[in-house]
Structure 1
């Protein structure tokens, strides 16, 4: 059974404009309004509640070698991880509706406890900025994959001594653009990297099959999906839209292939502040309702 968890965090993002806060915290309720919860629950899912984050604070005096909202991110990750562990021990598959992709830290902590192992990171960017390749760290939503595999500050990449949360050779990245500045590093580090243009050319079904054929990913993984993997022609309601992404149909087919083997999943970075009519919420809801319908079905097969 799918257990829907709302995690309305914006802690990992930069302010969109001075004095404002990112709108991703509104995403779970925007998706509820778009009918996502009703559709999933009609298919047998249950509502597993909400894990609220701390207050967003853009501190101009923050040490540049720390993350924005660092303590609040750690505290939220610990509480969300506990919820995910509980859901998994009940035999259900958690579907986390974010929020920004700093949520991957909670998934990593839970993965260490439940022993589920791998990570499939679907994102329009590699999100692999870290202290070893940049002097401009600070927004975890652009650094979450680096943190997930242990290439970040120990305060975020080794919470409670559980890091690295995912082994690099049990991690796949799907969906970045060819001009991503960290594509070469990620390709050399991870078990599998599939840029978006390969999916456009060769198809989402083949991409999913390649993931499932990868050693250490064939028996279960956490599935992190950032909707900026979509082309902005279809999904402009994200903080960093970049041309060259997937269509809704391609993303849906990719998720249909991956979700059955995932023990849980998170969907992130949709920003309702950039969707005044609610049209893009409907797009995300349809993709998730169809693509994630069989989440966790084959994990123990």
Structure 2
């Protein structure tokens, strides 16, 4: 378990305020997540702290861009060290900008790796389809497959961190702006409505056809908890209706986690969970869904 309490990739929720995702690891600790995973054999491998948040977006630059790149390099080193020790990293964040750090780590490693991107949005805004690029947490998948500005998509000359054909996305809503683009480009795209209509098992099979095939040396599992329906998980940056329920997400994670080489959990915002109830629900989902993380890698 690697804590990565970053909020650098998100826009400010209100003027002169900062996003609350940096508090997520400790809120989940309070909800029992770390203790329960430790009881199942997990080890803590410290915290990768971010720099100080600044709303400094400018034309051609992300907000907090230099801090994001610096944090990505340090997170990549921590992930690589854990893997070298024979462990399967679980990065507990934090916002979706963490995907860049994971991508750098795996791109530096021997072999070729796939990506499973579970998210309520495609996070595929990039300079080729939008003039509003500013927040990497809404643009992380585009950066991961090499379509963003080189400063974030080509750190240390490693672009793309994941080949589009080796990438599967699941969980976006049917009205997602980039649904057509991602469907044409990525190995698989399975919207939330299709998961609910055809079942979790069918969705998992479609994803594994892309990321668990000959020629790949494993896959990274990215989870943005806004894949859950807004009625289930309102404590996120962009809650939307039409998502999965807790049981569906648990089953999907359980189907995908055993063959993953690592995972990350993002975008839970404790500022929007004053009584801690959503943190406890999320801890239940993660313990059940990720209990077998990496066991069949």
Structure 2 residue ranges without an equivalent (≥5) = none
Show the counterpart of 1:201. Answer: 197
Structure 2 residue aligned with 1:88: 83
Deviates more, 1:278-287 or 1:108-117: 108-117
The residue matched to 1:214 in structure 2 has which SS? helix
Supply the distance in 2 between the matched residues of 1:276 and 1:177 (Cα, whole angstroms): 27
Q: After superposition, what is the alpha-carbon deviation per residue over 1:224-257, rounded to whole angstroms, capped at 9, x for unaligned?
A: 0000000011000001001000000000000000
Q: Deviations over 1:82-105 (max 9, x none)?
A: 000011111110000000000000
Match of 2:33 in 1: 36
Question: Partner of 1:269 in structure 2?
Answer: 267
Which residue number in structure 1 is paired with residue 283 of structure 2? 285
Query: Following the alignment from structure 2 to structure 1, what is the Cα–Cα distance between the partners of residues 211 and 143?
Result: 22
User: Contact 1:174 / 1:194 at 8 angstroms: preserved in 2?
Assistant: yes
Distance change in 2, residues 1:237/1:215 (3 Å): closer
SS in 2 for 1:85: helix
Cα distance in structure 2, aligned partners of 1:270 and 1:217: 31
Please point out which of 67, 70, 95 is paired with 1:75.
70
CA distance in 1, matches of 2:199, 2:26: 32
Contact 1:52 1:76 in 2 (8 A): yes
Deviation at 1:76, TM superposition (A): 0.2
Match of 1:127 in 2: 123
- Return 5+ residue gaps in structure 1 as ranges: none
Tell me if the contact between 2:115 and 2:211 (Cα under 8 Å) persists in the aligned partners: no
Q: Note the C-alpha offset of 1:209.
A: 1.6
Relative distance call for 1:28 and 1:261 in structure 2 (3 A) is same
Residue 214 (structure 1) shift:
2.4
| TM-score between the two structures when normalised by the length of structure 2 | 0.97
Q: Distance in 2 between matches of 1:21 and 1:81?
A: 25
Which residue in the other structure is 1:221 paired with? Answer: 219
Name the residue aligned to 2:255: 257
- How many residues of Structure 1 are paired with residues of Structure 2 in the alignment? 294
Matched, 1:20 2:17: yes
Q: Residues 170 and 216 of structure 1 are in contact (CA less than 8 Å); yes or no, is this contact kept in structure 2?
A: no
User: 1 CA distance for matches of 2:211 and 2:39?
Assistant: 35
In 1, Cα distance between the equivalents of 2:198 and 2:284? 23
* Match for residue 107 of structure 1 among 95, 102, 110: 102
| Distance (Å, rounded) in 2 between the aligned partners of 1:232 and 1:17 | 20
The 8 Å contact of residues 119 and 166 in structure 1, kept in 2 or not, is answered as yes
For 1:294 and 1:116, the matched residues in 2 are separated by 22
Q: Distance in 1 between matches of 2:209 and 2:161?
A: 22
Q: Report the RMSD for the aligned CA atoms in angstroms.
A: 1.0
TM-score, normalised with respect to structure 1 = 0.96
* Deviant stretches of 4+, over 6 Å: none
Deviations, residues 51-90 of structure 1 (Å, cap 9, x unaligned): 000000012xx42221000000000000000000011111
3-state secondary structure, aligned to 1:93: coil
Cα shift at 1:215: 5.9
1:53-68 matched pairs, under 5 angstroms: 53-59=50-56, 62-68=57-63
Contact 1:170/1:217 (8 A) holds in 2? no
Contact 2:12 2:19 in 1 (8 A): yes
Are 1:245 and 2:243 counterparts? yes
* Structure 2 contact 170–191 (Cα < 8 Å) conserved: yes
